[in-house]
Amino acid sequence: MTSSELWSRENAERYDAEEEENSSPEVLGPVLDFLAALAGDGRALEFAIGTGRVGVPLSERGVPVAGVEYSPHMAEVLRRKVGEETLPVVLGDMATATVPGEFAVVYLVYNTISNLLTQDEQVECFRNAARHLAPGGRFVIELGVPPLRFLPPGQVAVPFDVSEHHLGFDTFHLAEQVLVSHHLTRDGADGRYRRDASRHRYAWPAELDLMARIAGLTLERRVADWDGSPFTDDSGKHVSVWRKPA
């Protein structure tokens, strides 16, 4: 049984509206360019495909896409956009679910590997990606760099968004290598705020490289964002590409 928390029907129904900015052509364009270039003439598999924020437009570009999704409610929203014959989705967790065929690229966007709350499950996710990759294929992960340097002694919370309609901050359980992402979102015209929280296991880039090595994959490229900007000490996230031997 996966440790991932299950997205509810309520969360699934409002997901696209809350991620409207991240679904804009300006944000999605570099993501789709990056993944389409890696896929080439091959197929792409998205772990934790959700409502299809990335998978659906990538499919519309002509890349054959399949998905794995743990929440049936998220998959239900995706299915309203595109049929099973166009974008097949297997219900299951990304560490163990199996999709028929081989893929040129397997990818995880938007911190979703952190939904797996144990190191063992994250390692199995890498192994599962490797099993699905054709020789020479790539596994791609987008993941934030843990902002622990912003934690002075005795502090366990770091804000990541303070805006008119949303307050977001992470609290850290350092011994467990787990963060809890807290959201206070103004919901409706009455000015009330809705509170949500989700748990995540954070991992450093070097730890992911070791997971990749266990799965038989080799780091090919690491950049700070989908536009290919260099990864530096100040980067808040990374997009990493590991390759399966040809």
The answer to whether position 185 is within a domain reads: yes
% of residues, the chain, pLDDT over 90: 75
The answer to whether position 1 is within a domain reads: no
The parent domain of residue 77 ranges over 9-145+203-243
Q: What is the CA angle 217-221-225, rounded to 5?
A: 125
The answer to whether position 84 is within a domain reads: yes
Close Cβ partners of 86 (under 8 Å, ≥ 6 residues apart): 59
Together in a domain, 57 and 122:
yes
The answer to whether position 95 is within a domain reads: yes
Together in a domain, 192 and 77:
no
Burial class (CB in 10 A: 0-12, 13-18, 19+), 112: buried
Q: Is the pLDDT of residue 9 over 80?
A: yes
Q: Centre a 10 Å sphere on the Cβ of residue 142 and count the other Cβ atoms it contains.
A: 20
Ranking 13-22, 128-137, 212-221 by mean pLDDT, the lowest is: 13-22
Q: Centre a 10 Å sphere on the Cβ of residue 191 and count the other Cβ atoms it contains.
A: 7
The answer to whether position 21 is within a domain reads: yes
Strand order in the sheet with 193-201: 157-162, 166-173, 178-186, 193-201
Say which residue, 15 or 67, is predicted with more confidence: 67
> CA-to-CA distance for 237 and 246, rounded, in angstroms?
28
Mean pLDDT of 203-230: 98
Q: Is the pLDDT of residue 8 over 90?
A: no
Question: 23: helix, coil or strand?
Answer: helix
The answer to whether position 92 is within a domain reads: yes
CA distances from 55 to 51, 62, 124 (A): 8, 11, 22
- pLDDT tens, 135-187? 999 999 999 999 888 888 888 888 888 988 889 999 999 999 999 999 998 87
In 3D space, the residue among 108, 45, 41, 52 whose CA is nearest the CA of residue 83 turns out to be 52
Asked if 58 contacts 32 with a C-beta cutoff of 8 angstroms, the reply is yes
Together in a domain, 213 and 130:
yes
Together in a domain, 164 and 48:
no
Together in a domain, 207 and 170:
no
Tokens coding 181 = 């992402």
Together in a domain, 106 and 192:
no
Together in a domain, 17 and 60:
yes
Together in a domain, 48 and 157:
no
In the chain, the number of structural domains is 2
Ranking 2-16, 210-224, 230-244 by mean pLDDT, the lowest is: 2-16
Close Cβ partners of 69 (under 8 Å, ≥ 6 residues apart): 48, 49, 50, 75, 78, 89, 90, 91, 92
Ranking 81-90, 187-196, 208-217 by mean pLDDT, the lowest is: 187-196
Together in a domain, 22 and 108:
yes
Which helix (H) or strand (E) is 170 found in, with range?
Answer: strand 166-173
Strands 133-144 and 157-162: unpaired
Task: Please provide the distance, in angstroms rounded to a whole number, between the alpha carbons at the two ends of the chain.
Answer: 32
Mean pLDDT of 205-214: 98
Together in a domain, 93 and 166:
no
Stated pTM of the model: 0.93
Confidence of residue 189 (pLDDT cuts 50, 70, 90): low
Together in a domain, 153 and 238:
no
Mean pLDDT of 199-212: 97
Q: What is the CATH number of the domain that holds 59?
A: 3.40.50.150
Q: What's the pLDDT score for residue 1? A: 61
The answer to whether position 124 is within a domain reads: yes
The answer to whether position 67 is within a domain reads: yes
Please provide the average confidence, as pLDDT, over all residues in the chain. 93
Q: What's the pLDDT score for residue 135? A: 98
Together in a domain, 230 and 177:
no
Close Cβ partners of 149 (under 8 Å, ≥ 6 residues apart): none
Ranking 34-48, 74-88, 153-167, 222-236 by mean pLDDT, the lowest is: 153-167
Q: Is the pLDDT of residue 81 over 70?
A: yes
Confidence of residue 192 (pLDDT cuts 50, 70, 90): confident
In 3D space, the residue among 246, 243, 201, 200 whose CA is nearest the CA of residue 222 turns out to be 243
